[in-house]
Amino acid sequence: MKVSRISAALLAAFLWLCHPSGDVLPPEEDTAESVAEYTASHGIYALTGIVTDVDYESDTVEFTLANGLVFAFYGCEDYFVGDLVSALMWSTGTPTILDDVILDTRYAGTPEQLIDLGK
C-alpha cells in the first residue's frame, strides 16, 4: 500500500485545532519524555525501511519495512535502491497502519554503514 506525504505544517495545524489548549508542543517542559509522550498521544511515530524502488520520472521513492509493507513518497533527490530511509508517521487515529500518513522523511544511510558501526 502506498501512502502519500503531507506537510508538517498541516499536521501542526491539525494538532493545534484538536488539542484542547491549542498547544502544538508539550506545555512548559519539553524534555525528551514529554515530547515522546505528546507525540505518542497524537499518533506520531517513526519507522525505518529500505528503499526498494526509485522512479526519477515520477519523482517517487518506495521503501519497504521489515514486515513487507511498502510506503512511497515524492522527492527522489539522492536516494538509491538499498538506502535506508527514516519516516515520521501519523497514525490518522485508526488501528491499522495501512492508512498512516508520511509526514517527513530523512535519508538514514546504508545497511553497510550500520554494519561498520557495529565493528
Please state the rounded mean pLDDT for residues 87-108.
91
Is the full-model pTM beyond 0.85? Answer: no
> Does residue 33 lie in a domain region?
yes
CATH number at residue 92: 2.40.50
> Does residue 1 lie in a domain region?
no
> For the chain, what is the domain count?
1
> Does residue 104 lie in a domain region?
yes
Q: How confident is the model at residue 71 (pLDDT cuts 50, 70, 90)?
A: very high
pLDDT at 3: 44
> Does residue 2 lie in a domain region?
no
3-state secondary structure 20-66: CCCCCCCCCCCCHHHHHHHHHHCCEEEEEEEEEEEECCCCEEEEECC
d(C-alpha 88, C-alpha 5), whole Å = 10
Task: Write out pLDDT tens, residues 5-16.
Answer: 444 444 444 444
Tell me the torsion sign for CA atoms 14, 47, 93, 32: negative
pLDDT at 117: 84
Domain that holds residue 23: 8-117
> Does residue 26 lie in a domain region?
yes
> Does residue 48 lie in a domain region?
yes
